[in-house]
Amino acid sequence: MNSIEAVREALLRFRDERNWQQFHSLRNLIVSLNLEAGELLELTQWKSDAEIDALPADPASREALADECADVFLYLLLVADTAGIDLLDAAQRKLAKNAEKYPVEKCYGRSDKYHRL
């Protein structure tokens, strides 16, 4: 599977084969997305920046990182599907909005929020 649409279709098939859609209210999906994001964050708990930067080099840590990223991605796909959101379109529109809020000439090399530029 090399497209978001192919992954989405496989995910919905996986869900439907198990009759799990009944548990997938928008609220439950958003909660689950955040729980999975918390598990991703947990991989960094009590680690220095150097230890976190080294995670991808260790095969077991890389697999754990990949698994948690995948869980976040899959729940995000379910949230978007339930809400009728085209993620690629939404991402492109958000990038355009961010380009307006953070023009290169004002924010290059700065981490300030847009209203402080």
What span, in angstroms and rounded, lies between the C-alpha atoms of 81 and 68?
20
- Is the Cβ–Cβ distance between 77 and 87 less than 8 Å? yes
| pLDDT value for 1 | 63
The domain ranges of the chain are 4-85, 86-117
Q: What is the average pLDDT score of the chain?
A: 96
Q: How far apart are the first and last CA of the chain?
A: 42
Fold of 4-85: Helix Hairpins (1.10.287)
Half-sphere exposure of 30 (CA within 13 A, CB side): 5
Residues of the chain scoring pLDDT < 50: none
- Rg over alpha carbons for the chain, rounded to the nearest Å, is 18
pLDDT in tens, 47-73: 999 999 999 999 999 999 999 999 999
